[in-house]
Amino acid sequence: MNERDSEIMAQSLSGYGYIEGMEMNEADLVILNTCSIRAKAEQKVLSLLGYLRKTKLKRPAMKICVAGCVAQQEGNRLLDRMPHIDLVIGTQNIYNIGPLLLRAETDGSRVVTELRDDYAIPKFLPALSPMAADRAESACAAPSIQFSKFVTIMQGCNNYCTYCVVPYTRGREISRNVDDIIEEVNILVKAGVKEITLLGQNVNSYGKANAVTADRRPYNFSDLLREVSSVEGLARLRFTTSNPKDLTDALMKSFRDVKNLCPQFHLPVQSGSDRILKSMNRKYTAAQYLEKVEKLREYMPGIALTTDIIVGFPGESDEDFQDTMNLLEEVRFHGSFSFKYSDRPGTQASKLAEKVDERVKMERLAVFQQRQDEISLLRNREYVGHGQSVMLEECSESGGKGRTGTNHIVHFSECRGHVAGDIVRMKIVHAGQHSLRGEIEKTDEV
Ligand code: SF4
C-alpha cells in the first residue's frame, strides 16, 4: 500500500517540477512515507528524521515531508518534536501533496491530517510511460517493476482488530470506483505491464461499504477480479490483503475459474487460539479458518498459502501458542510473516492487562520461525523436478531471477535469449528455504 502511495506522490509532484531521485542527501525534497503497524517501523522513521535534521542544518533549502500512518497518527505532535519538518501529510491527503507543499510555504499550514468518513478515492490515473519502448532498447536490463504494478482498489478498514492502528490511521473503509480501476489497469497493460496486484487493507470486503458502480448495482470483489482479469494482455493477477472472515465461496471459486489469477493467497490468520482470536476481534475461529483452507485447496490444488502471525498477544498462554503451532502443522504454510506483539497507541489491545514477557515473546517467535523455515523448505522441495511458469524480473549475462505464479523467487543462470518481463517455462532444479533455482525449458508454453 505504501509503495503505491509513494508512486502516487511522485507522479503528482512531477507536475510541480520534481523528478524522483534516489540520493536523499542531494534531494530538494525528501518524503518519508511511513508505516506505524509495528513499533519498530515507527522507531526507524524517528531515527531517520533525527539524521535529516543534521542534513537540513547544512542544506536549509531542503524540504522534509512526512506522509503515511505515522504522520496521520502523530500530526502536530510530530511537528512539535521535529520542527525541521516542512509538511506532515495524512493518508487521505497524499493525492494533494503538490498544492499542500506550496500552501505550507505561503500560509504555514504544515500539518494536514484530516480523515473524512465520506472520503472518496480521487480519480487518479498513472501517466502513460513508454515501458514497452524502454524494454526494447534496454533488453535484458529492464527492471522488473515495469512489468508488475500495484493498483489500489480500496482504502481504510472497518474491522477494528484490537491490535491494529489502520482504522485510525487510514480511516473508514472506502472502495474505489470500478471504472477508475479498470481504466488504470488498461493504461498499465497497454504500457507493457503484465502483472497487476490489487491492493487494499481488506480487499475481499471490496464494494461493501459504498457504491462502486455508476448505476449503483451491487458489485463485490469476485466481480472485480473477473472484470480486471479480462483486460486484454494482462497475464497475471494477484491481490492483497484479505481477512478470512470476508473470504466468500465465490472468491475461493475465482481461483478455479479466473485463468490468470495466480495460485497464491496471503491469508493472515494471526493466531491458532480461538481465545486469542476473539480477544483480537478477528471474528473467525481456527476451525473456520481451516475449513476455508480446505476449500481453497479443493478449488485450486497446489495453491501456495502464506500468512501473518502475531506471537505474544496480551494474555497468550503456552496453550494458546501451542494452538498456533498446531495450526501451522495443519496448514503447512508455504511461508509466513511472524512478529512479536507490540502495543500500538490508541488500540484496544494496548489497554489489555496480562502483557506477555518480552523474553517469552522472543522464545515463541524463534520456535515458530524455526518450524516455519523447516516447512517452507519441505514445501519448496515439492517443486523440484517440476515445471513452473516464471515471469523474469532480472536478466543478465550471468543469469537472473524471476517469480512463479505461486510467488516464489526463482534464480537461474542462463537467460537463453529472454529478457525481463518474459514469462517462460522453467524446470525447478533446486529448492532453498526462501527461493528456488530453475532452468528455462522452452518458450512456447507457459
Ligand atoms: S482487517 Fe487488517 S487492516 Fe483491518 S483492522 Fe484488522 S488487521 Fe487492521
**Rounded Cα–Cα distance for residues 224 and 231 (Å):** 11
Q: Which helix (H) or strand (E) holds 203?
A: none
**Rounded Cα–Cα distance for residues 148 and 146 (Å):** 6
In testing the pocket of ligand 1, which one of 161, 170, 241, 337 has its CB within 8 Å of the most ligand atoms? 161
Q: Which atom of ligand 1 is nearest to the CA of 37?
A: 8
Q: Is 242 left (phi over 0), alpha (psi -120 to 50) or beta?
A: beta
Question: How far does the centroid of ligand 1 lie from the alpha carbon of residue 164, in Å?
Answer: 6
**Rounded Cα–Cα distance for residues 410 and 243 (Å):** 28
Query: What pLDDT digit, counting tens, does each position of 2-27 carry?
Result: 888 998 999 899 989 999 887 888 89
Question: How far does the centroid of ligand 1 lie from the alpha carbon of residue 158, in Å?
Answer: 8
Residue 105: partners with Cβ closer than 8 Å, 6 or more residues away: none
**Rounded Cα–Cα distance for residues 326 and 13 (Å):** 49
Q: Specify the residue with its C-alpha closest to ligand 1, atom 6.
A: 161
Q: Where would I find the beta strands (DSSP E) of 173-253?
A: 174-175, 195-199, 236-240
Q: Which of 374, 357, 348 is nearest to 311 (CA)?
A: 357
Question: How far does the centroid of ligand 1 lie from the alpha carbon of residue 244, in Å?
Answer: 11
**Prediction pTM value:** 0.90
Distances from the Cα of 170 to the Cα of 73, 113, 164, 424, angstroms? 9, 10, 11, 39
> Is 277's C-beta closer than 6 angstroms to any atom of ligand 1?
no
Residue 181: partners with Cβ closer than 8 Å, 6 or more residues away: 151, 153, 198, 224, 228
Q: Which of 168, 206, 4 is nearest to 74 (CA)?
A: 168
**Strands laid side by side in the 304-311 sheet:** 264-266, 304-311, 335-340
pLDDT given at position 117: 85
DSSP structure string for 414-445: --TT--TT-EEEEEEEEE-SS-EEEEE--SS-
> Is 261's C-beta closer than 6 angstroms to any atom of ligand 1?
no
Question: How far does the centroid of ligand 1 lie from the alpha carbon of residue 159, in Å?
Answer: 6
Ranges of each domain in the chain: 2-112, 131-381, 387-440
pLDDT given at position 433: 93
Query: What pLDDT digit, counting tens, does each position of 256-267 carry?
Result: 999 999 999 999
Beta-sheet pairing, 148-152 with 195-199: parallel
CATH number for region 387-440: 2.40.50.110
> Is 166's C-beta closer than 6 angstroms to any atom of ligand 1?
yes
**Rounded Cα–Cα distance for residues 327 and 305 (Å):** 13
Q: Which of 59, 2, 1, 4 is nearest to 30 (CA)?
A: 59
The single residue listed with the C-alpha cell 491494529 is 164
Question: How far does the centroid of ligand 1 lie from the alpha carbon of residue 138, in Å?
Answer: 41
Beta-sheet pairing, 174-175 with 111-112: unpaired
Q: Which atom of ligand 1 is nearest to the CA of 270?
A: 7
Q: Which CATH number fits domain 131-381: 3.80.30.20, 3.10.620.30, 3.40.50.300, 1.10.10.10?
A: 3.80.30.20
- Coil, helix or strand at residue 345: coil
In testing the pocket of ligand 1, which one of 38, 69, 166, 174 has its CB within 8 Å of the most ligand atoms? 166
Q: Specify the residue with its C-alpha closest to ligand 1, atom 8.
A: 164
pLDDT given at position 278: 98
pLDDT given at position 268: 98
Question: How far does the centroid of ligand 1 lie from the alpha carbon of residue 173, in Å?
Answer: 10
> Is 268's C-beta closer than 6 angstroms to any atom of ligand 1?
no
Taking 50 as the pLDDT cut, the residues of the chain under it are: 130-144
pLDDT given at position 131: 46
DSSP structure string for 290-343: HHHHHHHHHHSTT-EEEEEEEES-TT--HHHHHHHHHHHHHH--SEEEEEE---
> Is 157's C-beta closer than 6 angstroms to any atom of ligand 1?
yes
Cell of 47: 531515527
**Rounded Cα–Cα distance for residues 118 and 140 (Å):** 46
Query: What pLDDT digit, counting tens, does each position of 56-91 carry?
Result: 999 999 999 999 999 999 999 999 999 999 999 999
DSSP structure string for 90-130: -TTSGGGHHHHHHHHHHH---EE----TT--PPP-------
> Is 51's C-beta closer than 6 angstroms to any atom of ligand 1?
no
> Is 349's C-beta closer than 6 angstroms to any atom of ligand 1?
no
Question: How far does the centroid of ligand 1 lie from the alpha carbon of residue 135, in Å?
Answer: 38
> Is 164's C-beta closer than 6 angstroms to any atom of ligand 1?
yes
Question: How far does the centroid of ligand 1 lie from the alpha carbon of residue 63, in Å?
Answer: 33
- Does 1.10.10.60 match the CATH number of domain 2-112? no
